Structure 1
Amino acid sequence: MRYIVIGAGAVGGTIGARLHQSGHEVLLIARGAHYEALRSGGLRLITPHDDLRLDIPVADGPVPVREDDVLILATKSQDTVTALDPWPRHLPVVCAQNGVENERTALRRFERVYGMCVWLPALHTEPGTVVSYGSPRSGLLHVGCYPHGADELAKQIATDLDGSSFVALPSPEVMRWKYGKLLSNLSNAVEALAGDASGVDEILEHARVEGMAVLEEAGLAYSTPPEERELRGDQVQMLPIAGQARAGGSSWQSLARSTGSIEADFLNGEIVLLGREFGIPTPANEVLQREANRFARERLRPGSMSLETLSALIDERSAAGSR
């Protein structure tokens, strides 16, 4: 079986590197300067214990496929359609992405779609380089069929990943885990906008309470942080790496790389969408979605909004909705 990893950034690069290290056939798909760096110098994988150069095959677009190929989609959610469109539709697709809309989007195009819930602390801000902070294993991964179930391929993928420096589990309820991860990812926009300023906890809790309310009204089950922590145990700990501080998560990294886009529509925006469908106000998530998109569009520095400004915008939106 060959794993074609579409999007060799923080998540995709780590997954591809670890599968490659354990002897699996891997092809990385990247673009631009990152592709050129991978093609000329290999993937530099920095972990708490190693600084490696891995010569992993790479391409900048679709290649002739084989019947045993599995696509692992690790792009940001806003790039899902563009990333998948060139690939043959008979291949199985694993959505190793934040948010809960990617699997449904993929299923419009591909018959076999799998969800992957990813807890993997990593960083990609420099072409050719991925920093992975998880130790002794690189991350916790749930793999299952979409919308539910765990067939033989899901089990094989989980087995391969579990043997490749991950805690990986086949999960017939993978979307329950992904909805739980969605709730934790509501904080991504807060971090991208205001950094880790003292006092952000109140905003984070506001956004999470809105999220839980709409999920419960919609009848959507979600996992809880204690469940995740129990599975990670001491197998996936985020360790510091000298000279490689992880200043922020995936949304922060999008702003830091000045990509011009961010995944807020599929994180905070998912809560806003459900709130509108079920008549539940979601002012905190509305503001976080709107302002994160503005920061990406205007290529503003991550963490450059004051906490006072962000709080005032949420209070203003809350008051407008209650009139």
Structure 2
Amino acid sequence: MRIAILGAGAIGGVLAARLATAGHAVAVLARGPHGEALRRGGIALATPQGEIRARVSALASAAALAEPDVVFLCVKAADLPAIAAVLPEAVRRAALIVPVLNGIPFWYRPDTLAAPLRFADPGGRLACLFAGTRLAGGVAHFAAEMTAPGRVRQTSGGRLVLGPVGRGLAGRGPAGATADDCARIVAALNAAGVEAEVTSDIACAMWTKLVGNAAFNPVSALTGATMAQICEDETLLGIIRIVMAEVMTVARHHGVMVPVSIDQRIAMARRIGGSKLSMLQDLERGRPIEADTLLGAVAELGDCAGVATPIVDMLRALVVMRASRNLAGRAA
């Protein structure tokens, strides 16, 4: 299978290494020192079971893609519009496209909304760019981080959930992949050592992950604490519980009952251990944080449903200021 991975950070790196090792032709969008490292020595994935090293084709531009069978979009939400805009038309029309994004994705638009979410798809640009494509939603549960150019460390087994977007765009955007499309990719992932499954309710899978992401990520970014350190602090866990409750209430008002309790979600976090969360990793590397899709879109959906989200709002204001001052300090 010909596979393109746009965004070879932690998640993209795990997928690239596993799929290339399984014999698939993998092309990766990567620039700068990371792209050079991939061209020179391939990608190295450190796992609890040992190191995997695989050769991949490193591309400097999405415009250079040559008719892949599937495209995984593993970039940050802020980078997606620019990359989507230069995807060749033939790729957008023929390939199965799988965005694997944090937070509320651009394709999510329940019947309760009349327009794209400002914080997930400003102006509806992405919905337009992907109109008519075979698009499947992807939700990744991996504890992984980039440790150096060309090197990724995965600290837990991880799982990738795929599913048709169905009525996620209520007929106002991507045509959507079928369950059979998703099943073919899931079979390839499982054969490559990536635990994967197909769901008939990708929106529920997205909200279930978001309950934890919207709570733990900003707290980690503000405190510098790992998941394990947060879980050991009862005061921080009190904040985590309030945020989770706000997110679950918003989800419920948009027709999604998150199938795990707050205590169960925290227990899942404890099992992840001492991993750094993605928002903290972004801060430490001087990259933009995903406050809009993780927090802003939740608040926006809350407003649409008449649900107040005061702690989500507060955390977003704090992490946005923290990130702004961090970037200003690096530029000084």
TM range (shorter): 0.7 to 0.9
Give the deviation of 1:92 after TM superposition: 2.5
Aligned ranges 1:1-323 → 2 under 5 Å: 1-88=1-88, 89-90=92-93, 91-104=95-108, 105=121, 106-110=126-130, 111-134=133-156, 138-147=157-166, 150-186=178-214, 187-194=216-223, 195=225, 196=229, 198=233, 199-224=235-260, 246=275, 248-259=276-287, 261-299=288-326
The letter of the residue matching 1:121 is A
1:155/1:297 Cα in 2 relative to 1: closer, same or farther (>3 Å)? same
The question of whether the paired residues in 2 share the 8 Å contact of 1:125 and 1:256 is answered with no
CA contact (8 A) 2:147 2:153 kept: no
Classify the secondary structure of the residue corresponding to 1:183: helix
Which residue pairs with 1:307 in the alignment? none
83-92 or 64-73, which deviates more: 64-73
Alpha-carbon separation, structure 2, partners of 1:125 and 1:263: 20
Task: Look up the SS of the partner of 1:99 in the other structure.
Answer: coil
Unaligned runs of 5+ in 2: 109-120, 168-176
Task: Give the distance between the partners of 1:7 and 1:159, measured in 2 at CA.
Answer: 22
Q: Which residue of 2 aligns with 1:317?
A: none
Which whole-Å deviations, capped at 9, do the CAs of 1:289-312 have from their partners, x for residues lacking one? 1221222222279xxxxxxxxxxx
Do the aligned partners of 2:104 and 2:298 also contact (CA within 8 Å) in 1? Answer: no
Deviations 1:74-98 (A, max 9, x none): 0122222122211023133101111
Q: CA 1:75–1:68 in 2, change beyond 3 Å: closer, same or farther?
A: closer
The 1:205–1:211 alpha-carbon spacing in structure 2 relative to 1, beyond 3 Å, is: same
Q: 1:63 to 1:300 in 2, by over 3 A?
A: closer
Identical positions, percent: 30
Residue 53 of structure 1 and its aligned partner are, at CA, apart by 3.2
Shift of 1:238: 5.1
How far residue 54 of structure 1 moved from its aligned partner, in angstroms, is 2.3
Against the structure 1 CA distance between its residues 286 and 238, is the aligned structure 2 distance closer, same or farther, given a 3 Å change threshold?
closer
- Alignment check: 8 A CA contact 2:4 2:68 kept: no
Contact 2:8–2:29 (CA under 8 A) maintained in structure 1: yes
State how far apart, in whole Å, the 2-side matches of 1:81 and 1:222 are.
29
Which ranges in structure 1 are unaligned for 5 or more consecutive residues?
240-244, 302-323
Aligned alpha-carbon RMSD (Å): 2.4
Deviation at 1:68, TM superposition (A): 4.5
Task: Name the aligned partner's letter for residue 282 of structure 1.
Answer: T
Which secondary structure state, in structure 2, belongs to the residue aligned with residue 144 of structure 1? strand
Contact map agreement 2:10 2:145 (CA 8 A) in 1: yes
Structure 1 residues 43 and 67, CA, compared in 2 at 3 Å: closer, same or farther? closer
The size of the alignment, in residue pairs, is 284
Asked if structure 2 preserves the Cα contact closer than 8 Å seen for 1:18 and 1:164, the reply is yes
For 2:99 and 2:75, how far apart are their aligned partners in 1?
9
What is the CA–CA distance in structure 2 between the aligned matches of 1:128 and 1:64, rounded to whole Å?
A: 20
4+ long deviations beyond 6 Å: none
Q: How many angstroms apart in 1 are the aligned matches of 2:327 and 2:238?
A: 24
Which secondary structure state, in structure 2, belongs to the residue aligned with residue 293 of structure 1?
helix
1: CA distance, partners of 2:255 / 2:63 = 41
> Equivalents in 1 of 2:256, 2:309: separation in Å?
17
**2:283 is matched by which residue type in structure 1?**
L
Quote the Cα distance in structure 1 between the aligned partners of 2:14 and 2:144: 8
Report SS of the residue matched to 1:108: helix
Contact kept? 1:125, 1:257, Cα under 8 Å: no
Q: What is the distance in 2 between the residues matched to 1:165 and 1:53?
A: 14
CA distance in 1, matches of 2:87, 2:148: 27
Distance in 1 separating the partners of 2:302 and 2:68: 41
- Give deviations 1:147-181, integer Å, cap 9, x for gaps: 36743221100101111112211112112101111
* SS in structure 2 of the partner of residue 28 of structure 1: strand
